[in-house]
Structure 1
Amino acid sequence: MSAVRDPDGFAGFARLLYERARHAPDVVAHRFVHEDESAEELTHAALDARARAVAAGVLAATDGRPEPVLLLFAPGPDYLAALFGCFYAGVPAVPAFPPDPTRLARTLPRLAAIIEDAGSSTVLTTSDIAPLMADWLTETFGGRAPRLIATDTLDAAGAGTGTEPPPAPRTGVPALLQYTSGSTALPRGVLLDQDRLRANCAEIARGFGIHPGSSGGLWLPPYHDMGLVGGILTPLATGIPVTLMSPVTFLRRPLSWLRMVSRYRATIIGAPNFAYDLCVRRATDAEVEALDLSGVELAFTGAEPVRAETMERFAARFGPAGFRAASFLPCYGLAEATLYVTGGKPLGGWQTVSVDREALEARGTARPARQGQPSRSLVSCGRPGPGTRLLIADPATREPLADGAVGEIWVDSPSVTDGYWRRPEETAQTFGARTATGDGPYLRTGDLGFLLDDELFVAGRLKDLIVINGRNLHPVDVERVCEAAVPGIRRNCGAVFAIEGAAGGTERLVVVYEADIADEERYAEALDGIRRAVSRELNVRPGAVVLVRPRTIPKTSSGKVQRWLARRHYLAGELEALASTDERAGR
């Protein structure tokens, strides 16, 4: 299908949808694949009409005030209509993952924190979710409970004829409050305006080489960065169709994603590293044989550490179905920069460097490893696009570092946002960084990395960094060693962190993993296997190893492990421990 030509100028995503509906009303904009793998399609005209109905309901409820509106929807057409309805109404949309009925004790507090932080007095949802939320909102907020609007019951009659263009975006009013996924801290609302959203969509289109024949096939959570900007807004901005499915569907049946890609001939797919691993583990020979992935031109991978071995396994497993290893495109981004910052080349595959582990951990230097030396393999996340500057800085002295030196990644880009909602001090600290000589401002990402030949290599998170006996250890390295050597633990379901030793002494390494075995007699083997593997490969003996029940390691909505929260549960004795070398682990 040919891409629709961009309207002249850009006056916000509501106006963009309006123009698409005028000039290509019957073109499918978004397709949503349900649990049973049936599909529901939304044309430009249908999405425009539904968005107008939502906008009319929002404006009536808020008396036209530009106050943040919380979106509480399962992934699907109702969510899309609500998102664009907020754009039409000129109010900040606050997308949030609906609470998980099986994990209310963990998901409801995060939702309450978002509502409190955003100051939302209106919640948009559907009639099946509304009754549960009404009781909870009253119990939690009392007389301050936000009003609920079930958008699937709104009457479209008062939404206008569809011939009136939407008003221009209101000056100073954000389009979105994009709450960070909370992998290292409690969520914060990132301010996103229409211009930065559009700029990042254009950068994604450039970096991914999107062309008139492109189409997307994604399961990513549609509430923030990768799923929202990459999966919903970029296709509309570039005029290409996208087929979506719920992350819940993917996690239950990972191959349903690849069947969707095969059936609808998607050319662009993408996910965090764990998703590709999950597909490899779950795929049967019969399922692979039934797939046709020859149309995939680009498979982006990001949002968590990118592992070369994962891409190698995926390419080997699905190569018989036509998947090309060169399709992989590692990339780097974050919510504070809207989404995309760097990426590889389309059909360029991935590039790795093998660095001396001791030099990296002890001196923060990425030096090529000699044969036989302990090494660490890192994947390049590509280069920034035009207009984006990367700087590797010493986080303590703010001095720029040379190529190959590990420091904090700083970003200067047209897509860097204005900061955090109602958090001026954090905004100044994170978005106003300057070097020792005054160069800036830069966004401090909190990520550690280095540059080689202008390519970015991410080494870990500054806040996750573990220092033991003067050595810098990254949790991902410890987790990789465990998953490669120890049977009986679930891949991508572990958390490694440090705690203070007795009487304030040397930090202790703690390793927590979900068990993948039901035989209690084998728990001791897994615990011992983790201790031996970490001691042998990294020369560090874990102070504590804990096995917990499956699906209890805290994760963000996009599947990233929340090490900080796992650490909090460990210290509070709240882990659902099955076996442990430490009595403090939990019940």
Structure 2
Amino acid sequence: MEKLIDNPTIPNSNYSSMINLLSHKAMIHPEKVVYTFLSNDNQDETNTTYQELHMYAKQIAAYLQHLGLEGQRALLMYPSGIDYIKAFLGCIYANVIPVPVYPPGLSRNMLRLKAIMDDAATNIILTTTHLHSKISFHFSDELSNMNLKWIPIDDISHDYQDQWSQPKVDKESLAFLQYTSGSTSSPKGVMVTHGNILHNEAMIKAACQHNEDTVMLGWLPMYHDMGLIGNILQPLYLGAKCVFMSPMDFLQKPFRWLSAISKYKATISGGPNFAYDLCLKKITDEQKRQLDLSSWKVAFNGAEPVRYETIQKFAQAFKDCDFKLNQFFPCYGMAEATLFITGNEKLTKPVSKGFCKESLLENKAIEQPINSENSVKLVGCGMTWLGQKVEIVNTDSLSTCASSEIGEIWVKGNSIAKGYFGREQETNYAFNNIVKDTNENGFLRTGDLGFFHEGQLFVTGRLKDVIVMRGKNHYPQDIELTVEKADQAIISGASAAFSVDINGEEKLIIVAEIERKYRPRPHKERELKEYLDNVLRNIRQQVMEEHEVQPYAIYLLKTSSIPKTSSGKIQRRACKNAYLNNGLEVWHN
């Protein structure tokens, strides 16, 4: 550590751990504000500097070392805010393995929490005194036999920071467990090392052309990889600043997000595609007149399919706020690769192409005019960075695909995690795979399908979600987009298409949430039934016309009832399980 202090210009690539990184940033930027948390409708700010963050991390780490927890795993259960970051880095400084989780608000969240605790083999939970009391009150029955060890860190004595002993960790050391957004019964903990984080942050920096003057603005959940690696740790890696708010503050009022970008002159911000759709839906013309988005150079869009219609409409809707289409930064990534896999070049217009619908069904990507009648519009997710390698592999032969052939996306590089904690069989399947025709090993199987075209990676869907009917592949997100465009009652980003076996034949099932104003009411039951019957007809007709497949059943669901991941992605398998077990919250079918 002393050698770092002798060299204040040490490049980030030479750091051996996240401890070295923050220690050094605190030395060269002691008084610089690293995090600003917004609350109370963006009126209140909570700030912390690099030096304060370093001291908090040492204080928490020393206490955890005092408890003898080094090398153990501990759940981090915090509301959005700077306390979460302090706890995460405190664990890192103590070589305690943090496991970010979402505080339970519903019984189904408690089931997921218990599944994560069992999988991570821990009963230790770091939290705040207030949240501990709140959870203990609301979930007293569920917690009574769980033998939990709660560690509130908001009342740790400052005296502990002088007792901190820097642990022996390096790039190969496990930094944290990132639990994937699977079904509640089987979440998997991705083992992310210090070296994984440092390499992934370097790739993000290179792709986005970041530096110390970068201003990040975020609202993404900190227990999710895009929020943690992208929003929280990237500014730390840069020696830059991050302004952030809670996900709920954004969801309740999307204007808060763009207003904060305008106010703080943020240079990078973003989220999944649905976030931009929500802005289009909720932000008024009067609110737009208050916005200046000219500073926003990287509007990243990832974690779910990037929709051509969304980026076009957003650029058009906010052009008078000085937002341009080339500010969009489509990207692709996943927790198993730490976060970032591919991304476009900064301030380069997104590559949007049209591909023959029939050819895509047969696993071939044949370009045609984007606005032609039989064209599927796809947005490229950029290219690889810093030597990371992506191959498109045939899932039958496990050899590289021919040009324009759709296959599974395989990734190799220093960002690829070490596997799934305690799951040798799943790790052996997903990690360190060999491409047979080149005999090159070390590849991660992403489970995603895609192809390269003119140097851009195009992602077409999840391998396990593809619907195969009568020998043709149907991508569920394409059907879902058709469903959402079929009627104004359908909520954007809240539908799922999947298949089930009916008497030995695959049949298409569609579920979709509808706006609250269309829910059944006693005094308008007949009128609403007629309207919802018409919605069903519209969906059926549009799906048959555009995809040449007949839906077996269509269900209109209650608002906010469809299963989603922590980043807002539809959980199609969970939807299918709910359908098979009569667990859907249906309003009309």
Give the TM-score band, short-chain normalised.
over 0.9
Q: Distance in 2 between matches of 1:432 and 1:213?
A: 38
The structure 2 residue matched to 1:11, chosen from 16, 20, 23, is: 16
Q: Distance in 2 between matches of 1:393 and 1:56?
A: 47
Q: Are the counterparts in 2 of residues 67 and 92 from structure 1 also a CA contact under 8 Å?
A: yes
Quote the residue 2:92 is aligned against.
87
Q: Distance in 1 between matches of 2:410 and 2:475?
A: 19
Q: SS state of the match for residue 499, structure 1?
A: strand
TM-score, normalisation: structure 2: 0.93
| Structural mapping, 1:247-266, within 5 Å | 247-266=247-266
Residue 172 of structure 1 and its aligned partner are, at CA, apart by 6.2
Distance 1:202 1:555, change over 3 A: same
Q: SS state of the match for residue 434, structure 1?
A: strand
1:446 aligned to 2:447?
yes
Deviates more, 1:10-19 or 1:20-29: 10-19
Distance 1:203 1:472, change over 3 A: same
Quote the residue 1:330 is aligned against.
330
Distance 1:547 1:35, change over 3 A: farther
Residue 141 of structure 1 and its aligned partner are, at CA, apart by 6.5
The structure 2 residue matched to 1:44, chosen from 50, 60, 79, is: 50
Q: SS state of the match for residue 543, structure 1?
A: strand
Map Cα deviations across residues 262-286 of structure 1 (whole Å, 9 max, x no partner).
1111000111000001001001111
Q: Distance in 1 between matches of 2:170 and 2:389?
A: 29
Quote the residue 2:31 is aligned against.
26
Q: Distance in 2 between matches of 1:165 and 1:206?
A: 33
Q: Distance in 1 between matches of 2:21 and 2:415?
A: 19
1:576 aligned to 2:578?
no
Deviates more, 1:199-208 or 1:437-446: 437-446
| Structural mapping, 1:50-129, within 5 Å | 50-61=56-67, 63-100=68-105, 104-129=106-131
Q: Distance in 1 between matches of 2:148 and 2:21?
A: 30
Quote the residue 2:471 is aligned against.
470
Residue 443 of structure 1 and its aligned partner are, at CA, apart by 0.4
| Structural mapping, 1:213-224, within 5 Å | 213-224=213-224
Q: SS state of the match for residue 411, structure 1?
A: strand
Q: SS state of the match for residue 494, structure 2?
A: strand
Identity fraction in percent: 36
Q: Are the counterparts in 2 of residues 486 and 533 from structure 1 also a CA contact under 8 Å?
A: no
Quote the residue 2:532 is aligned against.
523
Quote the residue 1:156 is aligned against.
158
Which structure 2 residue ranges, 5 or more long, are not aligned?
Answer: 1-7, 521-527
Q: Distance in 1 between matches of 2:420 and 2:16?
A: 24
Q: Distance in 1 between matches of 2:572 and 2:351?
A: 28
Q: Are the counterparts in 1 of residues 221 and 246 from structure 2 also a CA contact under 8 Å?
A: yes
Residue 5 of structure 1 and its aligned partner are, at CA, apart by 5.1
Q: Are the counterparts in 1 of residues 171 and 194 from structure 2 also a CA contact under 8 Å?
A: no
Q: Distance in 2 between matches of 1:527 and 1:154?
A: 58
Q: Distance in 2 between matches of 1:499 and 1:5?
A: 59
Equivalent AA in structure 2 for residue 25 of structure 1: P
Quote the residue 2:5 is aligned against.
none
Q: Distance in 1 between matches of 2:215 and 2:342?
A: 21
Q: Are the counterparts in 2 of residues 183 and 555 from structure 1 also a CA contact under 8 Å?
A: no
Residue 57 of structure 1 and its aligned partner are, at CA, apart by 2.5
Equivalent AA in structure 2 for residue 471 of structure 1: K
RMSD (CA atoms): 2.0
Q: Distance in 1 between matches of 2:561 and 2:145?
A: 34
Distance 1:372 1:327, change over 3 A: closer
Distance 1:556 1:5, change over 3 A: farther
| Structural mapping, 1:232-247, within 5 Å | 232-247=232-247
Q: Distance in 1 between matches of 2:86 and 2:212?
A: 25
Residue 182 of structure 1 and its aligned partner are, at CA, apart by 2.1
Q: SS state of the match for residue 440, structure 2?
A: coil
Equivalent AA in structure 2 for residue 190 of structure 1: V
Deviates more, 1:509-518 or 1:195-204: 509-518
Map Cα deviations across residues 477-497 of structure 1 (whole Å, 9 max, x no partner).
001111223221100011111
Residue 20 of structure 1 and its aligned partner are, at CA, apart by 2.0
**Count of aligned pairs:** 568
Residue 173 of structure 1 and its aligned partner are, at CA, apart by 4.4
Q: SS state of the match for residue 384, structure 1?
A: coil
Quote the residue 1:488 is aligned against.
489
Q: SS state of the match for residue 472, structure 1?
A: strand
Distance 1:536 1:7, change over 3 A: closer
Q: Are the counterparts in 1 of residues 16 and 170 from structure 2 also a CA contact under 8 Å?
A: no
| Structural mapping, 1:171-570, within 5 Å | 173-182=173-182, 186-361=186-361, 363-369=362-368, 372-437=372-437, 438-501=439-502, 503-504=503-504, 506-516=505-515, 517-518=518-519, 520-521=528-529, 522-570=531-579
Residue 414 of structure 1 and its aligned partner are, at CA, apart by 1.1
Map Cα deviations across residues 42-73 of structure 1 (whole Å, 9 max, x no partner).
11122122222221232223x14310010000
Q: Distance in 2 between matches of 1:422 and 1:141?
A: 24
Residue 291 of structure 1 and its aligned partner are, at CA, apart by 0.9
Equivalent AA in structure 1 for residue 174 of structure 2: P
Which structure 1 residue ranges, 5 or more long, are not aligned?
Answer: 581-587
Q: Distance in 2 between matches of 1:81 and 1:7?
A: 24
Quote the residue 1:585 is aligned against.
none
TM-score, normalisation: structure 1: 0.93
Q: Are the counterparts in 1 of residues 214 and 235 from structure 2 also a CA contact under 8 Å?
A: no
Deviates more, 1:262-271 or 1:482-491: 482-491
Q: Are the counterparts in 2 of residues 15 and 166 from structure 1 also a CA contact under 8 Å?
A: no
Q: Are the counterparts in 2 of residues 183 and 561 from structure 1 also a CA contact under 8 Å?
A: no
Distance 1:397 1:564, change over 3 A: same
Map Cα deviations across residues 100-146 of structure 1 (whole Å, 9 max, x no partner).
2xxx1221111111111011231001111102444688754666522
Q: Distance in 2 between matches of 1:154 and 1:348?
A: 48
Distance 1:165 1:288, change over 3 A: farther
